[in-house]
Amino acid sequence: MKLFKVRYAFSEAKKNVLRNGLMSVASLFTIASCLVILGVFAIISMNVNSFTDKIEDQCEVQLYINAGTSEERVNQIGEEIAKIQNVKEASLFTKEEMLDYAKKDMFGEDAELLSGFEDDNPFSDSYKIILESIENTGETVSELEKIADVEKVVNKQDIVNMVMNLSKIIKRFSMAVMLVLLIIAVVIISNTVRLTVFNRRKEINIMKYIGATDRFIKGPFLLEGVIIGFCGAILAFLAVFWGYFALLKYVGSLSIGALELIGIWSISPVIAVLFIFFGCVIGVLGSSISMRKYLHV
Amino acid sequence: MIEFVNVKKVFEDSGVVALENANFKIENGEFVFLVGSSGAGKTTITKLLMRETNVTEGEIYLNGNDITKIPDKEIPYLRRKMGVVFQDFRLLEDRTVYENVEFAMRVVGATKREIRKRVPEVLSEVGLNYKAKMLPRQLSGGEQQRVALARALVNRPLILIADEPTGNLNPKTAMEIMDIFEEINRMGTTIIMATHAKDIVDTMKKRVIEVSDGNIVRDEMGGVYHETV
């Protein structure tokens, strides 16, 4: 396509957007609103993913050994644990260490209540085991339970399952909401372009008789949709950026460990690309539908 | 050369037979009037020539090529071989005379240099170079039709199709416009004009093809307007 044709398409598209001022602005804000909601769900999704990853990193299982097991056997159990797949790390926590921990961290000033337990320690030796992947926790726990002299294996599978399920529900809900919003946005932009096609029907008719190609006639209408979609994306990005920045600032002091939100500079490029992509796709789709239905060249 | 061979056109939505068994040839450089009452099939012939619609049966040849068979994407290139003028001028109201004519060249991808040379030339041919900067609403009906003529001619078409070009003009202006058409024809452009203008047809004594209820009922060299049926 010659430079003139590109320039012509852009200048006509710009004119179309300006001529349909109110309708263009309405479309732009609708697309921006849709993208903002899409962005909110994307951010929630990204944060839930990050949270799940962190839980996975912290995923640990506690293995308790029968009372009276010899020190040699306890060490042997450690070696057997290390051989099991999905075990990243295992560290021994002796019953003496557990008693000390209980005295210092659980009973504090009332530690004397536990005095006398040194000779008849009620705790068991245990292993704190870090797993490679959260998803195979069930199988790993079964393997661990099979080891001789193991009293019980305690894991956080319920919490893990809950987070994973929540994450799945949020993802599915986000996808459904996004789909509905995208359809709404496409319909709205299609109506705006349809209005332009109607307003310019005489010009289109003349172009047809002069021998303008389909691409030449359709180009400006397609670009009109893209321009509205792109501007809507920029507007939505600014709103989401500002909103997330304010949220981070507000909850910043409350963020602890796994609950810490993803930084704004990690999220911004993803959101910007997502918005521009969807903005332009909405624009192209809306224009195409309109042209297919109302622009017979 | 244009040749219609057993052309039939039935409008699918209404079932109306607009043209039936049409057979005629038009040589390059001819001036042909299409006459007949409203709805007789004159406009259908011009629309078929421009592939605005396609035949139900038959073939239409333009310089040996059957234009009923060309794919849709080739239609713009077919239309570039033709210029078209309408009764209602169909000018772009927000553009000047120069821009209206220039636009036709831009659409087909002419260079700026070609445009700068050709547009004043064609405006001069229709006697409007001194009104190049005016908007269509500032012109009389005759002048607007001249702009439309200039736009149709600017890309040097082989054929000029005119659908009632004098329908909105007074007799004096109509004759002035016809003088321009005759001049264009003298330069070698084939002209096919659908018209109801009896005075013009009778005065110019060109070939007349009469259409009635979708049938070609008369094809006469140096003919007059009278309706056969």
Backbone conformation region of residue A60, classed left if phi is above 0, alpha if psi is from -120 to 50, else beta = beta
Residues B87-112, mean pLDDT to the nearest whole number: 88
Residues B25-48, mean pLDDT to the nearest whole number: 91
* pLDDT exceeds cutoff 70 at A259: no
Percentage of chain A beyond pLDDT 70 is 88
- Residues from chain B that touch A218, judged by Cβ atoms under 8 A, are none
* Average pLDDT in chain A: 80
Answer yes or no: are the C-beta atoms of B177 and B170 closer than 8 Å: no
- Residues from chain A that touch B105, judged by Cβ atoms under 8 A, are none
What is the β-pairing status of strands A150-155 and A60-65? Answer: antiparallel
Name residues whose C-beta falls within 8 Å of residue B122's C-beta, 6 or more positions apart in sequence: B101, B150, B153, B154
Q: Which of A102-111, A179-188, A244-253, B94-103 has the highest mean pLDDT?
A: B94-103
**Continuous segment of H or E residues that includes residue B17:** strand B17-26
Tally A–B CB contacts below 8 A: 43
Name residues whose C-beta falls within 8 Å of residue B26's C-beta, 6 or more positions apart in sequence: B1, B2, B3, B32, B190, B192
Per-residue pLDDT band for A66 (boundaries 50, 70, 90) equals confident
Predicted pLDDT of residue A180:
85
Lowest-confidence segment of A117-131, A161-175, A230-244, A275-289 by average pLDDT:
A161-175
Cα(A232)–Cα(A177) distance, integer angstroms: 18
Cα(A110)–Cα(A122) distance, integer angstroms: 17
Whole-structure pTM over 0.90, yes or no? no
Cα(B72)–Cα(A227) distance, integer angstroms: 29
CA A284 to chain centre: 26
For the sheet with A126-131, list strands across it: A87-93, A126-131, A60-65, A150-155
The residues on B that touch A, with CB distances below 8 Å, are 50, 52, 73, 76-80, 84, 90, 92, 103-104, 106-109, 151, 155
CA B213 to chain centre: 21
- Segment A196-222, tens digit of pLDDT: 778 777 778 888 888 888 888 888 888
Across the interface, whether the CB atoms of A209 and B79 are under 8 A apart is answered yes
Residue of B155 and A16 predicted with greater confidence: B155
Per-residue pLDDT band for A57 (boundaries 50, 70, 90) equals low
Predicted pLDDT of residue A87:
86
Residues B82-103, mean pLDDT to the nearest whole number: 90
Per-residue pLDDT band for B3 (boundaries 50, 70, 90) equals very high
**Continuous segment of H or E residues that includes residue A156:** none
Question: What are the boundaries of each domain within chain A?
Answer: 3-55+161-294, 60-155
Across the interface, whether the CB atoms of B108 and A202 are under 8 A apart is answered no
Answer yes or no: are the C-beta atoms of B186 and B20 closer than 8 Å: no
* pLDDT exceeds cutoff 70 at B173: yes
Per-residue pLDDT band for B227 (boundaries 50, 70, 90) equals low
A211: contact with B, CB 8 A cutoff: yes
**Continuous segment of H or E residues that includes residue B99:** helix B97-107
3-state SS, residue B169: coil
CA B145 to chain centre: 12
Answer yes or no: are the C-beta atoms of B155 and B121 closer than 8 Å: no
Q: Which of B76, B90, B92 sits opposite A211 (nearest CB)?
A: B76
- Segment B112-147, tens digit of pLDDT: 899 999 999 999 989 898 999 999 999 999 899 999
Percentage of chain B beyond pLDDT 70 is 99
The residue of chain B nearest to residue A208, with distances taken between CA atoms, is: B76
Residues A243-249, mean pLDDT to the nearest whole number: 85
Residue of A104 and A229 predicted with greater confidence: A229
A123: contact with B, CB 8 A cutoff: no
Predicted pLDDT of residue A130:
85
* Average pLDDT in chain B: 90
Cα(B196)–Cα(B204) distance, integer angstroms: 14
A199: contact with B, CB 8 A cutoff: no
The CA-atom distances, in angstroms, between A11 and each of A6, A25, A235, A290, B29 are 9, 18, 22, 20, 39
Per-residue pLDDT band for B98 (boundaries 50, 70, 90) equals very high
Q: Which one of 3.40.50.10420, 3.30.70.3040, 3.90.550.10, 3.40.50.20 gives the CATH number of domain A60-155?
A: 3.30.70.3040
Cα(A226)–Cα(A285) distance, integer angstroms: 9
Residues B49-56, mean pLDDT to the nearest whole number: 92
Residue of B158 and A133 predicted with greater confidence: B158
Residues B172-191, mean pLDDT to the nearest whole number: 91
Cα(A246)–Cα(A73) distance, integer angstroms: 56
